[in-house]
Amino acid sequence: MRNLNTWVLVAILICGAGMMLTACKGGQSANETSESMEEYKKIVRSWYGENKTITDGSYDQSLAVKCINGTFVGKKAENTIVFRGIPYVGQQPVGDLRWKAPVDVVSCDSVYEAYYNAKTAVQPEAELSSLYYQGEDCLYLNVWKPAKVSAEKKPVIVWIHGGAYEYGGTVDPLYDFQNFVEENPEVIVVSVAYRLGVFGFLHLSHLPDGKDYPDAQNLGLLDQLMALRWVHENIAGFGGDPDNVTLMGESAGGGSVTCLSLAGGTPADAPTRSLSHQYFNKVIALSGNPGLSRSTEQAVACTNELMEALGCKTVADLRKVDVQKLVGVASELLPLRMAPERDGNLLPKNPWEAIASGAVKDITFLHGVNKDEMNFFLVEMGGAEPFNEWAADRKAKKLSLMTDGEKALTERFCNDVKGESYEPYCKWFSQLMFNAPCIRLSEEQTKAGGKSFTYYFTVESALPLLKSGHGMALAPLFKHPELDGDTGRPFDETFSKTMRKMFVQFAKTGNPSVTADISPDGKAKEWPLYDVADKKVMVFDEFDIHPEKERQRKIVDWDRTYFLTNYYCF
């Protein structure tokens, strides 16, 4: 994909590889928008191919890795071998397996190509990955490994993409890790696709025939867990260390990796929880947290709204609805409301209490937020007017749940924000969805005896309104300066390389600090653990990466917004 001409990349990524394409429609007519989408789709679909079984023994064995479910043959790209479209399940979740838990792989001796990305999970056509071929048969992963053979097992990073649990996919060029592995050949990277939206997070068990679908509300997470199991059992064949795995995700991916650290129920279910912890020991959560989740009551309400809109009474009725109609109606009716469910089974009812009790103290966290998270959504929704309309409605619903004292605190916070009409909403929702949960995760993890390295990313886009919005760190972190649609400009390369080195160092050792001899700018960077006294975070300023006490940046308003974590994000 990165071999496309620069002008083509600019054309299809003009709003950014990770940004919703709806953000760039403001100045276009409906016909122009439709024509643009069709052009984008032609380009993205030109990347598609079907991996075939190799039956004649004609393949380069140096590019092949034997796994439990077959031998997979990758392609060499410069100094990296890339394996695309490896299934991590025994059967894809189609037909009678729709809304069912993923099926484990079975032993197989066949040889398969691993040349092409598999289909993207079914979703509305709104984001770059959604323009690729879609299908419910989407449970695949990709692997990037250094071509040079090494006797030493390498640390593994498993990437979970974001997209509000409704959009996105591993085909996105931003999530191509060849550049990253070329620069950092001491690691192996895996990217995972999973079920999204109504196919990955739809509560069904309360319906008359719903008892046969007990896991439907958290299938996306169960898919990710199955992928982690596959990685644990097979990554050694790629040169990876199954005992040194770091989960990494952004936005909904950051929510996913923090939820995966909690997967297993209540704190008393330690033996169950250890089944997930055996697959990883570190978590990198970029702009994501366990607060990006729903209660069972919220999940049931969403399902009921969808069923009423579609005129359905049962799961059987729902199965008869055209797939694109199903995802389309859900997208319009339930924007930013699909998410993992705190069901008391896979996830605890109260993740903050679980973290405080020590449920994840054996996992080391590296996580943080961007300075202006919600400005991304301001731009993505089309500017001040539509954003304000959405924000006013969502804020009113949150306020209806609060005490009079909490409502007063909220209004005082918003009234103190100066500027344009959207700015109080941006600041308040950044606190609700990102800042306050980020700091609470650091607080609870640290108090429980666990480790948390916390960051604050401040580099701003050159694009109007966006500032240091959601997703801003991805292009520099993954070494894609050519995909600067979300940033409006390439960031300083020494800064970007230093940030990458610190994240790689965390994956290798569990500590992101770098010594002068390996730091790209020749200066040591000591990243302190968060503690409840000084509350130090690492500030990623473009020309000055340095630690500060949280109170210097006021990442959270302790009096007026920290309590928002009790109300979660949805």
Beta strand residue intervals within 104-233, DSSP E: 111-113, 140-146, 154-160, 188-192
Rounded CA gap, 454 and 359, in Å? 19
DSSP structural state of residue 491: P
Which residues are CB-neighbours of 479 under 8 A, at least 6 positions away? 179, 180, 183, 496, 500
Q: Which two tokens stand for residue 480?
A: 């894609």
Length of the chain: 570
> Is the Cβ–Cβ distance between 305 and 333 less than 8 Å?
yes
Q: Which two tokens stand for residue 102?
A: 């993923």
Which residues are CB-neighbours of 307 under 8 A, at least 6 positions away? 207, 313, 317, 318
Q: What does the buried/exposed string (b/e) look like for 15-38 if buried means 16 or more CB atoms within 10 Å of the residue's CB?
A: bbbbbbbbbbbeeeeeeebeebbe
> Is the Cβ–Cβ distance between 391 and 429 less than 8 Å?
yes
Q: Are strands 70-73 and 111-113 parallel, antiparallel or unpaired?
A: parallel
- Angle formed at CA 48 by CA 46 and CA 49, multiple of 5 degrees: 125
Residue with tokens 């949150």: 398
Q: What is the side-by-side order of every strand in the sheet holding 111-113? A: 64-67, 70-73, 111-113
CB burial of residue 61 (10 Å; 0-12, 13-18, 19+): exposed
Give the catalytic positions in this structure: 251
